[in-house]
Amino acid sequence: MKRTTSRIAATVTALFWMGWIALSGTSVATMDFQKKAKAAGFPADNCQYCHVDKLPKKDAHENNDRGKWLVAEKDKRKAKEVDVEWLKDYKGK
């Protein structure tokens, strides 16, 4: 009985961990997004171009209006990740 419970707990833990790894990076910005935005001619000098914090944490980050718009576009277009080229359509401040 104890061995079965341990095996179930290990399986649940492994599945949780694999799900976390698979899904955690789906909508998180990286330095790569910033580099792509700069290469496309947008003034993305730091993370605050799309985030509220200067150095947002992976687990706790808040998007500014531009970042919220990009996430909404991602959902609207059913895209896997944000495309910085969409920024040319952004009509915010």
Mean pLDDT, residues 84-88 taken together = 93
Answer yes or no: is 10 within a domain. no
Answer yes or no: is 13 within a domain. no
| pLDDT higher than threshold 50 for residue 26 | no
Instruction: Record the tokens describing residue 36, joined without a space.
Output: 């792509």
Q: How many domains does the chain have?
A: 1
- Is residue 64 exposed (0-12), middle (13-18) or buried (19+ Cβ within 10 Å)? middle
pTM for the complete prediction?
0.64
Which domain does 57 fall in, by range?
Answer: 27-89
